[in-house]
């Protein structure tokens, strides 16, 4: 035993003397060697598969030959951890997400009861678990980045909106007195107003940036402007998009809460909705809706015309298994929380590929909808 200890100490000392560099990392999207596009050729491609985010496996070490890298390899080999994934640092049941001003992809994971923060610029993955100084997240769902860099999270079990600073430190909460089951969350960056979908009370509650309730949009019902279990929401280009899940539609409002139009109806064809979840839009007005029951990402133009489906049930490239949220960034990348595959799938909208009309796309698939 003493001989082994001496050998260990000598090896450790040699590693320390070999250099003082640190192990650096790159954060990469997992993707196949062969490019995947939608729709397939000979149609003009409109979307390209970028890759997927799952967790720590997206990080790859850049070996600088220093002691940090050597020591890391030594201890991993000693503990037999070289090829053993750290499942706690991988997504389990991602719900939704956002991209902040620095390009970080922030994902809520109700299965891990945490937020995963993918930082490609710095090559690191952070996991935030603390909602307040005394409480951890229980069921984080909606998330949005505020103009000042704060991150706001709706936790459906804690029944409040949590405000974190840009490093994940708790700054406060609001909404506990008003919210029954908050799920979707979105921010109007111009006014600072915060929109929260209260699924249990069938309405959208609007708060000031200071956390004061200023408006309630809707009530339970089937008429325009009414809801039946709204879930995911987004605010893009002065439009509020609300997934009216049990009414099988998405409703669109202006920034003041006035109803503008609805998308979708029940049916058996591609383009119909059964259990819509996530919703977002890109800079050209294309609208993206998660149809979770049939595992599809459905694309519509700004006039609610159905354009294109991506998906189907499975775990391969372009397939989903009970997807939940969807969100976009300033580069018109589309992110899908593929919940039961434990990953975030990323697509790039190819806006330069021969645009036609305001949305840049012609319909590829058509559907029959109920009148």
CATH number of 31-55+90-349: 2.120.10.30
Average pLDDT over residues 292-305: 95
pLDDT given for residue 46 in this prediction = 95
pLDDT band per the 50, 70, 90 thresholds, residue 78: very low
Q: Domain limits of the chain?
A: 1-26+61-88, 31-55+90-349
Q: Which helix (H) or strand (E) holds 12?
A: helix 2-17
pLDDT given for residue 294 in this prediction = 95
pLDDT at 92 over 80: yes
Give the CA diameter of the chain.
Answer: 83
Distances from the Cα of 179 to the Cαs of 47, 63, 126, 146, 228, in angstroms? Answer: 38, 49, 29, 20, 16
pLDDT given for residue 23 in this prediction = 64
Listed residue (325, 360, 353, 346) closest to 103, CA to CA: 346
pTM for this structure? Answer: 0.86
Spatial separation of the C-alpha atoms in residues 305 and 298, rounded to whole Å: 11
pLDDT given for residue 352 in this prediction = 55
pLDDT at 353 over 80: no
Structural contact between residues 343 and 52, judged by C-beta atoms closer than 8 angstroms:
yes
The vertex-136 CA angle with 135 and 140, nearest 5°, equals 120
Q: What are phi and psi of 341, to 5 degrees?
A: -95, 0
Average pLDDT over residues 329-352: 94
* More confident call, 354 vs 284: 284
Q: Which helix (H) or strand (E) holds 71?
A: helix 67-79
- According to the per-residue pLDDT averaged within each range, which of 25-29, 68-72, 247-251 is highest? 247-251
Average pLDDT over residues 241-256: 98
pLDDT at 82 over 70: no
Structural contact between residues 95 and 277, judged by C-beta atoms closer than 8 angstroms:
no
Dump pLDDT digits (tens) for 118-171: 999 999 999 999 999 999 999 999 999 999 999 999 999 999 999 999 999 999
Residue 154 exposed, middle or buried by CB count within 10 Å (0-12, 13-18, 19+): buried
Nearest-10 crossing angle of helices 67-79, 2-17:
150
pLDDT given for residue 25 in this prediction = 83
pLDDT given for residue 271 in this prediction = 87
| Torsion from C-alpha of 297, 298, 299, 303, nearest 10 degrees | -150
Structural contact between residues 151 and 116, judged by C-beta atoms closer than 8 angstroms:
no
pLDDT given for residue 368 in this prediction = 35
pLDDT band per the 50, 70, 90 thresholds, residue 11: low
pLDDT band per the 50, 70, 90 thresholds, residue 2: low
Q: Is 291 helix (H, G, I), strand (E, B) or coil?
A: strand
Spatial separation of the C-alpha atoms in residues 184 and 324, rounded to whole Å: 11
Structural contact between residues 234 and 143, judged by C-beta atoms closer than 8 angstroms:
no
pLDDT given for residue 103 in this prediction = 96
Spatial separation of the C-alpha atoms in residues 304 and 285, rounded to whole Å: 10
Structural contact between residues 11 and 5, judged by C-beta atoms closer than 8 angstroms:
no
Q: What are phi and psi of 168, to 5 degrees?
A: 90, 10
Spatial separation of the C-alpha atoms in residues 289 and 271, rounded to whole Å: 10
> Within the chain, how many helices (H) and strands (E) appear?
2, 27
Q: Which residue has the tokens 């704060």?
A: 150
Listed residue (139, 140, 120, 54) closest to 91, CA to CA: 54
pLDDT given for residue 64 in this prediction = 53
Residue 361 neighbours by CB under 8 Å, 6+ apart: 46, 286, 299, 301, 307, 308, 355
pLDDT at 246 over 90: yes
pLDDT at 189 over 80: yes
Work out the percent of the chain whose per-residue pLDDT is above 70: 82
pLDDT given for residue 301 in this prediction = 94
pLDDT given for residue 63 in this prediction = 61
Average pLDDT value for the chain: 87
pLDDT at 269 over 90: no
Spatial separation of the C-alpha atoms in residues 46 and 347, rounded to whole Å: 10
Average pLDDT over residues 101-116: 97
Dump pLDDT digits (tens) for 34-77: 899 999 999 999 999 999 999 999 998 876 555 544 444 433 43
DSSP assignment string, 98-166: EE-TT--EEEEETTTTEEEEEETTTTEEEEE-BSSSS-B-SSEEEEEE-TTS-EEEEETTTTEEEEE-T
Dump pLDDT digits (tens) for 192-240: 999 999 999 999 999 999 999 999 999 999 999 999 999 999 999 999 9
Residue 87 neighbours by CB under 8 Å, 6+ apart: none
**Strands 287-291 vs 276-281: parallel, antiparallel or unpaired:** antiparallel
Q: Which helix (H) or strand (E) holds 72?
A: helix 67-79
């Amino acid at each position: 035993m003493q001989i082994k200890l001496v050998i260990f100490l000598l090896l450790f000392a040699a590693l320390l003397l070999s250099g003082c560099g640190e192990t650096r990392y790159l954060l990469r999207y997992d993707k196949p060697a062969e490019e995947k596009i939608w729709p397939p050729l000979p149609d003009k491609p409109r979307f390209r598969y970028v890759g997927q985010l799952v967790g720590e496996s997206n990080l790859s070490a850049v070996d600088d030959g220093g002691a940090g890298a050597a020591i890391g390899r030594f201890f991993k080999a000693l503990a037999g951890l070289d090829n053993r994934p750290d499942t706690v640092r991988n997504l389990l049941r991602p719900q939704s997400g956002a991209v902040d001003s620095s390009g970080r992809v922030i994902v809520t994971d109700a299965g891990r009861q945490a937020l995963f923060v993918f930082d490609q610029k710095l090559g690191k993955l952070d996991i935030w678990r603390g909602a307040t100084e005394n409480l951890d997240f229980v069921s984080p769902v909606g998330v949005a980045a505020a103009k000042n860099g704060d991150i706001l999270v709706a936790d459906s079990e804690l029944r409040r909106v949590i405000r974190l600073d840009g490093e994940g430190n708790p700054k406060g909460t609001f909404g506990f007195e008003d919210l029954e089951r908050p799920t979707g969350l979105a921010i109007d960056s111009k006014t600072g107003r915060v929109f929260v979908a209260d699924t249990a009370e069938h309405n959208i509650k609007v708060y000031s940036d200071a956390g004061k309730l200023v408006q309630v949009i809707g009530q339970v019902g089937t008429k325009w402007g009414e809801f039946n279990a709204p879930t995911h929401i987004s605010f893009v280009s002065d439009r509020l998009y609300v997934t009216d899940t049990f009414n099988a539609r998405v409703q669109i409002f202006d920034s003041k809460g006035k109803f503008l139009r609805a998308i979708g109806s029940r049916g058996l064809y591609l383009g119909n909705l059964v259990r819509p979840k996530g919703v977002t839009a890109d800079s050209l007005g294309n609208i993206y809706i998660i149809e979770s029951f049939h595992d599809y990402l459905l694309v519509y133009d700004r006039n609610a015309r159905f354009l294109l489906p991506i998906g189907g049930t499975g775990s391969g490239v372009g397939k989903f298994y009970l997807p939940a949220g969807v969100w976009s960034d300033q580069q018109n990348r589309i992110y899908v929380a593929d919940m039961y595959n434990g990953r975030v799938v990323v697509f790039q909208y190819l806006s330069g590929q021969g645009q036609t009309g305001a949305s840049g796309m012609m319909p590829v698939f058509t559907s029959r909808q109920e009148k």
